[in-house]
Structure 1
């Protein structure tokens, strides 16, 4: 009688990767950590190369398959995503402005800022320029998808559609045979780097109250988002939250919205979102919906301003959030991408000096994984709303 092989699911693998990363970073020699970080770095390079093609393939086919109302759904999805990002950032400011001053410690931000720029160097580092950057891939996907949706069978044939369909199948194969299996290694390398450089525990030991409040805001946002989505789609919000756990966990480890797309698509499938909608909304929102990142950036900016005696108010925060909500479209694909995108706009809230921006980077990156998890989880809440709109008002 053959022994049945025990299959370990993705979530346990991700947890194992996180634990191993922390333990290796704490107890094993540096050269061991550098070997794993090197492998993780090479995987990251490959991931960055594939991500634009993944966005191009999935978003194009998602839009192209929406033969009715594709333009309307694109506008609806973008509008909901942008509104969600604006609301999340505004609420984050009000909470931070009300709570942070009561426990802020000037020495805390000074100590955590010292971790900025400290990392484990890989033995080998390669750089491969992607065929397209993220924003170009999104724009090209809009053009191709919308044109194929409206012109196919009328003004053009099926040649381009068939090519993109085959291209999408190839990218899907790459995702499931290379990217998803190696995600735990990528996560392990990330946590080795964070642990050895002091980032993993610095925020918990120094600014743990800020850290906890930001995470609570992320979780409350998700509860609110899925209750709204559940009400509109007439589905159990608690079950929807449960279905999202694999996507949330993956995002915590990878710190990348785009890298979590394959897992998030499976979560959307479990939610009962139709295939054409999930293939359209999930990759699209991975690039345009940044509610979690906005919560983190706004809260961190408020904290840094308070610690340095800089004035900050709703009058300065709202233009900052509105601008950043658009600029961060180009940020997914790499850990810390949102704060790097935000740097040119930090002057709007008084954080224009290199010293203050270094503090912002250190604060943000220690919480980036949770912000990213909030981003991608919120994507499926938007997917449920868009799917309900599509079925009720567009498809019929």
Structure 2
């Protein structure tokens, strides 16, 4: 008999199949369902364990948010501006304009429709874990190094400064800092999010607020999906004019990119498909190869639309004042912050968390609800983002007047974000 240690492996045999990891969205959905069901039967002593964890997690997240802003926004601005040619500046400007217009469209429609859609839907101001009736066993204060607005201003100053100097140790340091921050998000924040959201929905159920929250989510999701269709029709109306083609046919040609993004929730994974679809729409190869990877980083119209709509909905049901000036400023700032969204599922809402807190006054529980709502339809936002990239490529073809700019000879393919 041959011992197991002497077993010979046939090199021609197929490798053992990898265990397929469960995606973030299924884990979030399971956490929500379990939180609701166990909230009906779980004793308070056990629920306080999860409340204690949520207090610690939200404190750590609050500590990390300013570092996320500095670590992601600073190198993103520095890379975007360094050696920027006319094609890069024009593409970035159009992408930012598209993102802002989508955010303003979502804001206007939300302010017009959501008050009547959510009429009668009201919950008390969302409580932080330490203020909840289900009190934590203990709390740990983790004060941030600096506040969110300081982080934003510091990031802009340093990022713009990096565009004015030659690449050196400082630029490399911020790139390494970005790598560290993204690893923390991937290895700590994202894996623990389902447990955090479970604790939140457990508390909402035990406090009697859960059904209002679910009703609000469903109504807003329907509105968001309708708005994404309107946005894509508008974007390809402009693209059809630019290319002198049927906009609906162009949009249909982009369907493989939309479906790929819907299945992967990743702009990065969709770049080859988006590029190929754009070329089928008559985009010159050089322009498609430059614009699509760049816009995968900086064009997050669908994500901005979702975040704006859900933010207004939460403000309405919690009785927060709807200050139009603050909301408009929030949309413009959100367009900048989206550039730094890390390439992980839910990365856009993680980057936006600081702006939600600093400009709209969202507390920890409100930000947690935003994260849950955003991830619930994350793939639809990503699909809208990448499909819109093809429209921007069409506009850039029109602006280049058929002649590819010399700037494309020095193409800059930055790290892809926008998930």
- The TM-score with structure 2 as length reference comes to 0.61
Take 1:270 and 1:321, find their aligned partners in 2: how far apart are those partners? 37
**Aligned pairs for 1:234-383 within 5 A:** 236-237=254-255, 239-240=257-258, 243-244=261-262, 267-272=266-271, 278-279=296-297, 290-296=304-310, 320-327=323-330, 329=333, 338=356, 341-342=359-360, 369-370=372-373, 378=381, 381-382=384-385
Conservation of the 8 A alpha-carbon contact between 2:63 and 2:144: yes
Taking structure 1 as reference, are residues 190 and 211 closer, same or farther at Cα in structure 2, changes over 3 Å only?
closer
Q: What is the CA RMSD across the aligned residues, in angstroms?
A: 4.6
CA distance, structure 2, for counterparts of residue 339 and residue 62 of structure 1: 22
User: Which position in structure 2 is the counterpart of 1:308?
Assistant: none
Instruction: State the SS of the aligned residue for 1:151.
Output: coil
Aligned residue number for residue 8 of structure 1:
21
Answer yes or no: is the 8 Å Cα contact 2:63–2:145 preserved in 1: yes
The answer to whether the 8 Å contact 1:218/1:295 transfers is yes
Distance 2:367 2:144 in 1: 26
Deviation at 1:29, TM superposition (A): 0.9
* Alignment check: 8 A CA contact 2:326 2:360 kept: no
1:22-73 CA distance string (max 9 Å, x none): 2222211112121122123212222222222222222222222233257666
SS in 1 for 2:142: coil
How far off its partner does 1:245 sit? 6.5
Partner of residue 314, structure 1: none
The answer as to 2:78 corresponding to 1:64 is yes
Task: Pick the structure with greater CA Rg.
Answer: 2
Q: Secondary structure at the match of 1:36?
A: helix
Are the equivalent residues in 2 in contact too, given 1:194–1:200 (CA < 8 A)?
A: yes
1:218 matches 2:241: no
User: 2:97 — aligned with what?
Assistant: 79
TM-aligned CA deviation for residue 370 of structure 1 = 3.2
C-alpha deviation, 1:75, in angstroms: 4.8
Structure 1 counterpart of 2:62: 48
Change (3 A) 1:120 1:368: farther
- Checking the alignment, whether the CA contact within 8 Å between 2:296 and 2:385 is kept in structure 1 is no
Q: Is 1:23 equivalent to 2:37 in the alignment? A: yes
Secondary structure in 2 aligned to 1:170? Answer: helix
Counterparts of 1:145 and 1:386, CA distance in 2: 25
Deviations, residues 134-184 of structure 1 (Å, cap 9, x unaligned):
3332332233223323422xxxx5011111122122222222221222122
How far residue 229 of structure 1 moved from its aligned partner, in angstroms, is 5.9
Aligned residues: 328
